[in-house]
Structure 1
Amino acid sequence: MASEKWNRRGTYSNFIKHLKRIHPNEYERIVSSDAAYLSEEENVFSNDRTTADLGNIKYKQNQFILSITKNLIIKCGLPFNFVEHASFRDFLKDCHLKFEPVSSRKLKRAVIPLLKNNVLKTIHEALNNINHLTLTVDGWCDRRCRSFLGVTCHFIDSKMIPQAYLIDFLRFRSPHNGESILRLTEDVLNRFNVKEKVFKIITDNASSMINAYKFGLFTDEEDDAFDYQTHSISNTNSLPDDYDGKLYLIFYHIQFAESELQ
């Protein structure tokens, strides 16, 4: 495809940029194929399945790819590139004779974003039907010492069933101070439009967490300390009778909060 000949060994380390700059026609063809695949996946998720031919090979192919993504990659935590392994493709040929190989790039750019959008839609619908919720916020570091901030919400639905959702898992860049934690938390609340529904925030004993939710927010340290020492249900904070729906955050100061939540 390229007009020039290269005498060096190895692969081109930035092939996509090279393709976009030197071979724009081929690049557009690859991008358009991914867009067409995404539109097909949206049809698979459509509730109107009367138009879908259940005997269609392409439909079964898409369902098979969705099952691989949900059950093997998401639930089992396998890497994306395992779908390109020769042994895995031989296994798929034994299970599905007409299965077309799928690339990890297609899973990342087409299937995963679609599944994420569907999950976010479900979370938005659930949060729109409640009036009050509680947040838990915690930070983690991976093996490369990159910091992340996880935010979960907890509430009781209309059927009196406790529900818990991971609403966001953010890259937490420095500085790791209270202002940064507060800013990220407010961004998440504004994105889900639940800022006025939050009643309590539960976190650990880190100084940055304490500073984040003490600064400019309502606190009741005496009641929280009393609740932690007695563990009495009758003494826990409840919604006040004159609660007006405004932001009413309480820093729930619990040492070893992780063991308490379990």
Structure 2
Amino acid sequence: MMATHSVVSESNADSNIIIIHDGAQYPSHLKNKHQSLFEEWKSNDDPSIKSTNQPKINSVFSSGGEKYATNNKRQKQLTNSIIQNLIINVGLSLSIVDHTSFNDFMNDVYSKYKPIHRRDLTRSFLPALHKKCTSKLQEICAEATHVSLTLDIWCDRRMRSYFGVTLHTIIDDKYKTFLLSFERLEGKHTSDKLATEFDRITQLYNLKDKIVRLITDNASNNLAAFDNIILPGFDDYFDGIIDDSSESESESKSNDKETDDYAPAVGEEKQLQTHEADDSIYQTTLDSATEEEFLRLPCFCHCLQLVVNDGIKASAAAASSLQKVASIAKLSHSSTVFSERLEKFNYTIPRANRTRWNNQFQTVKKVIDIPSSILNLILSDLKKNDLILNSKDRKVLEEFVSLFELFNEATVLTQGESYATICLVAPTVLGILFDLERELGSSTLTLVSLCEALIASIKARFSGLLRYFEIDVPFNTYCMSERFSDVIFLISPLLDARFKLL
């Protein structure tokens, strides 16, 4: 509340002094009580107040055509907001800044804003942001004492390949993960090309002496690229261990489009090799507390999908039932009548993705979730009796879903970005194995061969890990699976509160 100054109100004829009760009521008091003085005050009012040069509030919000300069603070703020929120966060196209409708919208929002062009984004703004981001990452890497790197290759829908490197570290007792590089790869993905790119990244962020773990997928060219990156003290450790590219060969027959880009260059092909693993090789390293730790680890998600692929090859007993599901799903996306009938009962069937097995798995689940009374009635009305799921089909499909359910959960769970997923490896493998063995012990199981194939594949591909738990596993197995012998897979769950012993 504004304070008022209440004093005596007088009019002295000799001095013409007015003492005001309340400053806010000065004009009205003067006019009512002292008319002559009011006229004099009005005529002697400060001319500066009446100056035409004094800016008016309306002029501040004028809709004139004048635009901000490029270095104006408000101009920079709006431009940065467009780049950060619309282009980077939302993922809108760079060309949006050249679109007439977008510029009209910005003119309505703030008429003084000067539109930028796509050329400005690609030549100025984005390179500046990239440079700033790189500098920040270099500062973070300088703080880290030990790091792990994840390397992978992706393909977009136009089959353009990209090589990504992700950093994982702990700084001030907080888990940190950052994308260090995402570069376009052209031509054959040879080991030399990948090694050159990896060397560039490690030099840029000064990581060569800080890497303790390197996680790659199972493509032979990735494995060959990093064979020679061995920290001091580990040369003898890798002597005599035969490298293995069996995973990429087993992959080559799968339906995943991405595997075509992992094919080795001419002359780099390797035959499937197996050997009898010697645990003393790993034990020598793991027992040494003074030597630097370094070991290339396989991608757990990728190995898990290879187990799924082994199981799918043994799913002949479920083939006919799965064929019906695929036909029903296709019908829902090609027949408007069928999809509308399903929608009336609040059911939809998602589109399956060829390159994602668990996406197809979700399609199977959605189909069998539709009650038989509803699905069969609609199919019968549409004269699609050959697609009706009988009781045997239902039983087979329910078993199929039950056997792969944990694989689906593990695939989703181990794709987390805000937490360390390595602690999930051992609990996940053991959980899936024990669940499959329980299913196999059921006297009513129909898909026995599928269950047995999944169990055998897990024991073969994760044999190094399972030996710690005195589980009977084959000795002649893939070299890659022996990499799961690293004791880090046992230590990491113990440091995770979710797996504490009760």
TM-score interval, smaller chain: 0.5 to 0.7
Distance 1:102 1:164, change over 3 A: same
Question: Aligned partners of 1:130 and 1:66: how far apart in 2?
Answer: 30
Structure 2: distance between partners of 1:238 and 1:72: 49
Question: Cα deviation per residue 1:155-181 (whole Å; 9 max; x = unaligned)?
Answer: 0111x1111111111222333122322
Which residue in the other structure is 1:168 paired with?
181
Residue from 63, 88, 100 that aligns with 2:77: 63
Change (3 A) 1:251 1:128: same
**Residue type of the alignment partner of 1:126:** I
Write out per-residue CA displacement over residues 72-110 of structure 1, whole angstroms, 9 at most, x where no aligned residue. Answer: 111111111111111111211221121111111112112
- The one-letter amino acid of 1:75's match is N
- SS of residue paired to 2:152: strand
In structure 2, the residue matched to 1:241 is 289
Q: Give the match for residue 91 of structure 1.
A: 105
Alpha-carbon distance in 2 for matches of 1:161, 1:90 = 45
Q: Does 1:187 align with 2:217?
A: no
User: Is 1:79 the equivalent of 2:131?
Assistant: no
Change (3 A) 1:238 1:153: farther
Number of equivalences: 191
1:142, CA displacement in angstroms?
A: 2.3
Determine the C-alpha separation between the residues in 2 that align with 1:256 and 1:207. 17
CA-to-partner distance for each residue in 1:27-77, whole Å, 9 max, x for gaps? xxxxxxxxx96xx4xxxxxxxxxxxxxxxxx11011100110011111111
Q: Which has the higher contact order (CA 8 A, sep 6+)?
A: 1
* Residue of structure 2 in register with 1:212 after alignment: 225
Q: CA–CA distance in 2 between the matches of 1:192 and 1:212?
A: 19
Q: TM-score if structure 2 supplies the norm length?
A: 0.35
Q: Which residue of 1 aligns with 2:481?
A: none
Q: CA RMSD in A?
A: 2.8
1:205–1:256 Cα contact (<8 Å) kept: no
Q: Distance in 2 between matches of 1:216 and 1:116?
A: 28
% same residue: 30
> Does residue 153 in structure 1 map to residue 153 in structure 2?
no
**Which runs of 5 or more residues in structure 2 are unaligned?**
1-68, 242-282, 305-410, 417-502
Seen in structure 2, the aligned counterparts of structure 1 residues 97 and 238 have a Cα distance that, compared at 3 Å, is: farther
Given that 1:213 and 1:250 are in contact with CA atoms closer than 8 Å, whether structure 2 keeps it comes out as no
| Of 197, 205, 223, the match for 2:210 | 197
Q: Higher helix fraction: Structure 1 or Structure 2?
A: 2
Cα distance, 1:152 vs structure 2: 0.7
Pair 1:131 & 2:176 matched: no
- Runs of 5+ unmatched residues, structure 1: 1-35, 41-57, 222-234
1:106-145 mapped onto 2 (5 Å cutoff): 106-145=120-159
Q: Which has the larger radius of gyration?
A: 2
Offset of 1:216 from its aligned partner? 5.4
Distance 1:171 1:201 in 2: 21
CA distance in 2, matches of 1:78, 1:199: 38
Alpha-carbon distance in structure 2 between the residues aligned to 1:80 and 1:64: 16
Change beyond 3 A, Cα 1:254–1:167: closer
1:69 alignment partner, SS class? helix
Per the alignment, residue 307 of structure 2 pairs with: none
TM-score, length basis structure 1: 0.65
Q: Which residue of 2 aligns with 1:250?
A: 295
- Whole-Å Cα distance in 1 between the matches of residues 288 and 88 of structure 2? 41
Output the CA distance in 1 between the equivalents of 2:229 and 2:300: 22
Of the structure 1 ranges 60-69 and 179-188, higher mean CA displacement relative to structure 2 is found in 179-188
Instruction: Name the CA distance, whole Å, in 2 between partners of 1:147 and 1:215.
Output: 24
